[in-house]
């Protein structure tokens, strides 16, 4: 997936990681710890924080149910620490007490998006991949979406080719096309929402983060077999003032026959609802608070018995659980 000059790969992945996990440059560790203490306790909205489940600089969580009694959580190391390109996993029977599994699930990638294959043969993970580039070009390689297969959820083998490549939705995903979430519709087809980046504002620098400003979009795609994808519409209008072109970490989940899309922005986590399997969407609304510097990142959501639970990251602190209260 990442067959490219190593220095270019590191620069590209670091740039994308920084856009996918909540980050802020800090003058000192003391200042960072003080900020974390002031921002970790999130209250209000329709979800309530329960507890930290895994301590450390982690982000990009994804949860799946692996059998009748256990769940597996995948998550990645944030870019500010060594070995930031590692993906790990943990298992739990209650959704609150998690046992970290030995080894590394995958390297040189992030944004795991996992489904159970309908025929019961195993799992497919959609994740970030580096697209081939012209060796003579001075531009950094673009990011697209690749997939890997596993029979047990532990050992993964990347599948050939790309599922989504930059530019499939024109200017909306010209520079980046990954950070996806996927569900299988009742009719057996696949529905995905991924993040696109246009590249139109890369010459501008964010005053807070010190990284290039970008325009993000959430874009839909459909497939009949999970491998060959057709890009659809732009799902969320990020030009609205509450988003300021910045939304990340989409998460799709079915609540009976209602399809819900969650994502996070500079002011918290939002929810949009579709009553026709993703063809049209109701107006999005904020359901969990956040703030511009330490907004809860990359939500992943699952129903455990009769409880809806969300897992999210707080920058340089850890992964947390939240429970739906309304």
Tens digits of residue pLDDT in 52-97: 999 999 999 999 999 999 999 999 998 777 767 899 999 999 999 9
Domain assignment of residue 1, yes or no: no
Burial class (CB in 10 A: 0-12, 13-18, 19+), 41: exposed
pLDDT of residue 73: 98
**Model confidence at 159: pLDDT above 60:** yes
User: 249, 236 in Cβ contact below 8 A?
Assistant: no
> What backbone phi and psi angles, to 5 degrees, belong to 29?
-65, -35
Q: Measured between alpha carbons, how far is residue 174 from residues 141, 185, 197, 237 in Å?
A: 11, 28, 6, 17
CA distance 155 to 134: 32
Q: Which tokens is 57 given? A: 């600089």
pLDDT of residue 30: 44
Range with the poorest average pLDDT among 14-18, 267-271, 321-325: 14-18
**Model confidence at 158: pLDDT above 50:** yes
Domain hosting residue 83, numbered range? 6-324
User: 313, 22 in Cβ contact below 8 A?
Assistant: yes
Query: Average pLDDT in the 140-149 region?
Result: 94
pLDDT of residue 27: 40
Q: What is the CATH number of the domain that holds 125?
A: 2.120.10.10
Burial class (CB in 10 A: 0-12, 13-18, 19+), 37: exposed
pLDDT top residue among 267 and 278:
278
pLDDT band for 4, please (50, 70, 90 cuts): very low
Domain assignment of residue 268, yes or no: yes
User: 254, 183 in Cβ contact below 8 A?
Assistant: yes
pLDDT of residue 171: 86
Q: In 10 A of CB 82, how many CB atoms?
A: 7
**Model confidence at 44: pLDDT above 70:** no
User: 88, 104 in Cβ contact below 8 A?
Assistant: yes
Rounded-to-10 torsion of CA 80, 156, 304, 128:
50
Query: Average pLDDT in the 229-233 region?
Result: 97
Among candidate residues 155, 149, 144, 66, the one with its CA nearest the CA of residue 109: 144
Domain assignment of residue 224, yes or no: yes
pLDDT band for 206, please (50, 70, 90 cuts): low
pLDDT band for 169, please (50, 70, 90 cuts): very high
pLDDT of residue 3: 38
**Model confidence at 137: pLDDT above 80:** no
pLDDT of residue 291: 72
Mean pLDDT, the chain, whole residue set: 85
Classify the C-alpha dihedral 288-313-226-145 as positive or negative: positive
**Model confidence at 289: pLDDT above 60:** yes
**Model confidence at 38: pLDDT above 80:** no
pLDDT band for 148, please (50, 70, 90 cuts): very high
pLDDT band for 135, please (50, 70, 90 cuts): confident
Q: Which tokens is 37 given? A: 């203490």
User: 181, 254 in Cβ contact below 8 A?
Assistant: no
**Model confidence at 124: pLDDT above 60:** yes
Domain assignment of residue 118, yes or no: yes
Report the number of distinct structural domains present in the chain: 1
CA distance 281 to 250: 14
pLDDT band for 22, please (50, 70, 90 cuts): very low
User: 179, 128 in Cβ contact below 8 A?
Assistant: yes
**Model confidence at 156: pLDDT above 50:** yes
Domain assignment of residue 216, yes or no: yes
pLDDT of residue 143: 93
């Amino acid at each position: 997936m990442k067959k490219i000059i190593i220095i270019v790969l590191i620069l590209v992945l670091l740039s994308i990681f920084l856009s996918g996990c909540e980050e802020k440059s800090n003058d000192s560790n003391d200042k960072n710890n003080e900020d974390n203490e002031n921002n970790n306790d999130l209250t209000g909205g329709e979800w309530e924080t329960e507890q930290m489940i895994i301590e450390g600089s982690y982000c990009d969580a994804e949860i799946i149910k692996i059998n009748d009694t256990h769940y597996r959580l995948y998550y990645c190391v944030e870019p500010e620490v060594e070995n930031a390109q590692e993906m790990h996993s943990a298992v739990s029977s209650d959704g609150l007490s998690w046992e970290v599994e030995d080894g590394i699930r995958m390297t040189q990638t992030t944004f795991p998006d996992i489904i159970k294959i309908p025929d019961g043969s195993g799992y497919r993970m959609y994740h970030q991949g580096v697209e081939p580039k012209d060796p003579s070009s001075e531009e950094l390689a673009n990011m697209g979406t690749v997939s890997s297969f596993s029979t047990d959820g532990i050992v993964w083998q990347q599948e050939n080719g790309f599922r989504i490549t930059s530019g499939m939705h024109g200017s909306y995903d010209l520079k980046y096309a990954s950070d996806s979430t996927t569900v299988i519709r009742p009719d057996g087809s696949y529905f995905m929402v991924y993040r696109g980046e246009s590249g139109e504002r890369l010459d501008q620098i964010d005053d807070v983060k010190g990284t290039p400003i970008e325009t993000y979009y959430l874009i839909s795609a459909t497939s009949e077999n999970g491998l060959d994808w057709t890009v659809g519409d732009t799902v969320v209008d990020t030009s609205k003032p509450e988003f300021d072109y910045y939304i990340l970490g989409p998460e799709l989940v079915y609540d009976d026959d209602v399809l819900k899309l969650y994502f996070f922005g500079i002011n918290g986590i939002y929810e949009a609802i579709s009553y026709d399997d993703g063809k049209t969407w109701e107006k999005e609304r904020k359901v969990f608070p956040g703030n511009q510097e330490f907004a809860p990142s990359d939500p992943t959501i699952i129903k455990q018995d009769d409880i809806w639970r969300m897992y999210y990251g707080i920058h340089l602190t850890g992964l947390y659980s939240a429970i739906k209260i309304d």
